[in-house]
Amino acid sequence: LSHLLQVEDNIENLCLACTKLYEALDEGNMLGKRFKRRSVLLKTLYKLVDIDSDPLCLKLAKIILAMKVDGKNLLSVCKLAFRICRNEKNDYIIQNDRLLDCLLEVLRTEDLHKNNEAVLYCMGAIKLMSENAVLLNEMVNKGAIKMLLQLMKHINSIKENDTYFSDLGHLLVQLTATLRNLADLPPARRQLICNGAVSELSVALEQRMNDKDVCTYIVRIFSKLSSYNDFYAALADCSRCYVLFLALLNKHQKQQDLVIRIIFILGNLTEQNNQAREEFFKEKGSINTLITLFQTYHELDLNAQKWCHEREGEEKNHSKHPSEAEDVLIKLIRVLANLSIHPSVGAALAAARRVVELLVTVLEYKSVDDCKELVINAATTINNLSYYKVKSSAVQDKKLHIAEMLFKLLMSNNMDGVVEAVRVFGNLSQYHEICDFIIQKKIYKFMIALLDAKNKDVCFSACGVLLNLTVDKNNRALLMEEGGIGKLVDCLGDFGPADWQLACLICKTLWNYSENITSAASCFGEDTNKLLLLLTSLLDEELVLDYSLDGDLRDNHKLCWEREFKPVAEKLLARIQSHHSFIPTVTITPF
Whether the per-residue pLDDT at 317 is higher than 70: the answer is no
**Where residue 65 falls among pLDDT bands split at 50, 70, 90?**
very high
In tens, the pLDDT along 83-118 reads 999 999 999 899 888 899 999 999 999 988 889 999
In DSSP notation, 553-564 reads HHHHHHHHIIII
Q: Span 433-462, mean pLDDT? A: 93
Residue-level pLDDT at 322: 86
Whether the per-residue pLDDT at 49 is higher than 50: the answer is yes
144 or 319, greater pLDDT: 144
Question: Which of 79, 104, 98, 76 is closest to 23 using CA atoms?
Answer: 98
Q: What is the CA radius of gyration of the chain?
A: 34
**Where residue 229 falls among pLDDT bands split at 50, 70, 90?**
confident
What span, in angstroms and rounded, lies between the C-alpha atoms of 391 and 538?
Answer: 40
Residue-level pLDDT at 307: 72
CATH architecture, domain defined by 444-580: Alpha Horseshoe (1.25)
Minimum mean pLDDT range among 192-196, 262-266, 465-469: 192-196
Q: Which CATH number fits domain 274-306+323-441: 1.25.10.10, 3.40.225.10, 3.40.190.10, 3.20.20.140?
A: 1.25.10.10
Residue-level pLDDT at 206: 94
Residue-level pLDDT at 591: 31
Q: Measured between alpha carbons, how far is residue 459 from residues 54, 407, 504, 524, 544 in Å?
A: 68, 18, 12, 20, 21
Whether the per-residue pLDDT at 454 is higher than 80: the answer is yes
In tens, the pLDDT along 126-168 reads 999 999 999 999 999 999 999 999 999 999 999 888 888 888 9
What mean pLDDT is reported for the chain? 89
In DSSP notation, 262-294 reads HHHHHHHHTTS-HHHHHHHHHSTTHHHHHHHHH
Whether the per-residue pLDDT at 487 is higher than 60: the answer is yes
What span, in angstroms and rounded, lies between the C-alpha atoms of 261 and 344?
Answer: 27
**Where residue 39 falls among pLDDT bands split at 50, 70, 90?**
confident
Provide the residue ranges of all domains of the chain, joining segments of one domain with +: 1-142, 274-306+323-441, 444-580
Whether the per-residue pLDDT at 323 is higher than 60: the answer is yes
Highest mean pLDDT among 222-236, 261-275, 297-311: 261-275
Q: Measured between alpha carbons, how far is residue 163 from residues 121, 151, 152, 333, 472 in Å?
A: 19, 18, 17, 43, 76
Q: Measured between alpha carbons, how far is residue 374 from residues 337, 342, 421 in Å?
A: 12, 22, 14
Predicted structure pTM score: 0.86
